[in-house]
């Protein structure tokens, strides 16, 4: 810990990675796990200045550690919120935004709503929408607009923040966000808009989310038939392959009619 705080220390990125690994790792015993949590809680106030560290790997790892619950939630949200909107790396800013969402404190909802604004990067807007969904906060037209516009730039929460290893709060944030919207028809419209994009990354975002949504809401299959058609008509072979995945959710009675 002391070495990480020393700006002149060597291999600080490696030290930050090691510290995060210990924090997230599975301890051999509950007693060891408890000691790690206590140490993390004790270290949190000292770690917060590192959210602005000149080494991007350090900022990234500390952003994750700050997003974990340690008993310093209000302090963490204030630090993450202040830094996220000035962080130059969009993906690290998204990690910070997600960290804000994970802490149930006063002011969280207002901050996340503000982060949806179009003046922010697509990654921050996407992370804010995901955070609102995960926190169970009210869904608004602003959230819908942010989802469609942010992911219209592709998988904006995906990328090699740290070479060779990637850490995110979610493996499929778009699908998790749309599922939480609890409106499959509107979610299908967003998936259609994305899947129709000529940009392969954007189209894949829409198609993958549609597959996950149909797994969650198979009864909504009719609303997704335009998405299937868009995937099947896409110029990219890989995107067209998702049409078969989506067709696998065809209701039995409709499949029977098709066969006949």
Two structure tokens written together for 127:
């992370």
| pTM for the predicted model, two decimal places | 0.86
CA 16, 95, 162, 49 dihedral sign is negative
Question: Residue 104's Cα: distance from chain center in Å?
Answer: 17
User: pLDDT in tens for each of the 260 residues of the chain?
Assistant: 788 888 889 899 888 888 888 887 766 677 776 787 787 788 889 999 999 999 999 999 999 989 988 888 899 999 999 999 899 999 999 999 999 999 999 899 999 999 999 999 999 999 999 999 999 999 999 999 999 999 999 989 886 555 444 556 888 899 999 998 888 999 999 999 999 999 999 999 999 999 999 999 999 999 999 999 999 999 999 999 999 999 999 886 555 444 44
141 and 186 in contact (C-beta within 8 Å)? no
């Amino acid at each position: 810990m002391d070495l990480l705080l020393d700006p002149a220390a060597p291999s600080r990125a490696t030290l930050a990675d090691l510290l995060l690994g210990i924090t997230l790792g599975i301890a051999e015993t509950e007693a060891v796990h408890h000691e790690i949590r206590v140490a993390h809680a004790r270290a949190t106030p000292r770690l917060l200045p590192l959210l602005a560290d000149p080494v991007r790997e350090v900022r990234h790892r500390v952003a994750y550690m700050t997003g974990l619950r340690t008993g310093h939630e209000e302090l963490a949200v204030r630090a993450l919120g202040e830094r996220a909107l000035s962080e130059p790396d969009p993906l690290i800013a998204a990690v910070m935004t997600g960290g804000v969402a994970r802490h149930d404190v006063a002011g969280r909802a207002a901050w996340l709503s503000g982060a949806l604004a179009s003046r922010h990067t697509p990654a921050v807007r996407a992370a804010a929408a995901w955070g609102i969904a995960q926190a169970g906060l009210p869904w608004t037209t602003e959230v819908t607009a942010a989802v469609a516009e942010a992911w219209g730039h592709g998988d904006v929460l995906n990328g090699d923040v740290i070479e060779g290893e990637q850490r995110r709060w979610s493996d499929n944030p778009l699908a998790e966000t749309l599922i939480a919207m609890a409106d499959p028809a509107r979610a299908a419209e967003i998936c259609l808009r994305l899947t129709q994009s000529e940009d392969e990354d954007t189209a894949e975002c829409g198609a993958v989310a549609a597959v996950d949504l149909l797994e969650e809401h198979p009864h909504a299959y009719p609303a997704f038939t335009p998405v299937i058609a868009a995937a099947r008509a896409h110029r990219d072979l890989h995107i067209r392959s998702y049409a078969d995945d989506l067709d696998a959710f065809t209701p039995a009675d409709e499949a029977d009619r098709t066969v006949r």
